[in-house]
Amino acid sequence: MTRALQLAASVRTSTSPNPWVGCVLVTADGAIAGEGATAPPGGQHAEASALRAAGARARGATAYVTLEPCAHQGRTPPCADALVAAGVDRVVIGVLDPDARVAGRGIARLERAGVEVVVGTLATEAEELLAPYLVHRRSGRPFVVLKLASTLDGRLAAPDGTSRWITGPKARDDVQRLRAESDAVLVGAGTVRVDDPRLTLRLPGEATRQPLRVVLGRAPADAALRPGLELSGDIRSVLDELGRRGVLQLLVEGGAHVAHELHRLDLVDRYVFYLAPAMLGGDDGLPVFAGSGAATMAEAWRGRLVSVDRLGNDVKVVVAPLRAGA
C-alpha cells in the first residue's frame, strides 16, 4: 500500500476533479505484477492501468488500491468489474469512496464475485492524501487551504500596506506547489486593489493546468487577474458554488478579513503558515486575522500540528482543525 500511495501522490496535480489513486498488483509470491495511477480526466483509472501492465499475471494476484474501486460507468468502465474479470483474488483498500455512485458498491461487487476485500490498510495516510476529494464528496464544498505568510510577530503587511516580500524564494516556490495542487485560488477584492496579484501558476510543466482565479467581491477593471471569477455573498454560499463547479481544493491567499471570516465560521480545513524571521516590532501592522477573536486563553482556537518544514530561512507550519475527519 505504501507504493500505491506513492503512485497516487505522483499524479496529485493532474487528475482533478477525479481522485488521485494508486494501484499495485502483487502476485502470490510477492512480486509486483503491475502498477498504475489515475490518468488525467478521460484517461484510465489506476486499477485499469495496473491491470494492463500486469496482463495475465493479474490472475490470482492481490490488488492494493488507495481508494475503493469505482462501480459505475463513467468515461471509463467500472474498475471493480475489471478487477473481477482479470481474476484478482484479493483487493486491499485504503479508504472507502464517499461518492454516491460508489459508497460501498465497489466492495459489494467484488465480494459478490468471491473476491476477498480488506479495508483500512494505511487508512490515515490515504485519508490525508485524498482529503480534498473526500471532503468535497462528503460536504459538496471544497477543501479549504488558508495560506498565510507573516512575520514572527504575526503581521501580514506593514502599516503602509506593503507585504512584498515577507518570505524568501523557497517559501514562495512552495506556494506555487500549493497552487498546482489546487483547483481554484481565492482572494478578497481588497487584496486585489492593494497588491494586484496575478495568482497564476508559474511552475515548469504545470502551465496547462492553471487554477481558477476567484475574487470575493468586485475586482477593478484593470486588475491583473482579469478575466477571473467574481463571486459575492456570504462565504458559505461562495464555497457551495465552487463545490458545484467541481473545485476539490480551494487555496485562499488573502486577505486578513477573508481569513478571519473563514476562521470564525470554522470553514478552514488546513492552515498553512509561512513564517519569516522578521518582525515589524509594533501593533500598527496588518494582523493575520482582521476582526475580533477569543476573549480569553480558555477560548483560544487549538488545532493539530500536521507538519513543520524549513524552507530556506523561513518555516512552513501546517495545522489542521481538531474536528472529525480533519
Q: Among all residues, which ones are annotated catalytic?
A: 47
What is the rounded CA–CA span in Å between residue 282 and residue 236?
34
Q: What is the rounded distance in angstroms from the CA atom of residue 25 to the CA atom of residue 64?
A: 6
d(Cα 28, Cα 319) in Å, to the nearest integer? 41
Name which of 260, 284, 319, 259 is nearest 151 in CA terms.
Answer: 284
178 Cα distance to chain centroid: 8
Query: How many angstroms separate the CA atoms of 320 and 314, rounded?
Result: 20
Side-chain-side CA neighbours of residue 317 (13 Å): 12
- For 282, residues 6+ apart whose C-beta sits below 8 A from its C-beta are 159
Please tell me the distance from the alpha carbon of residue 321 to that of residue 96, in angstroms, as a whole number.
Answer: 22
Residue with cell 499495485: 24
Sheet holding 90-95, edge to edge: 32-37, 22-26, 62-67, 90-95, 116-119
Q: How many CB atoms lie within 10 A of CB 324?
A: 5
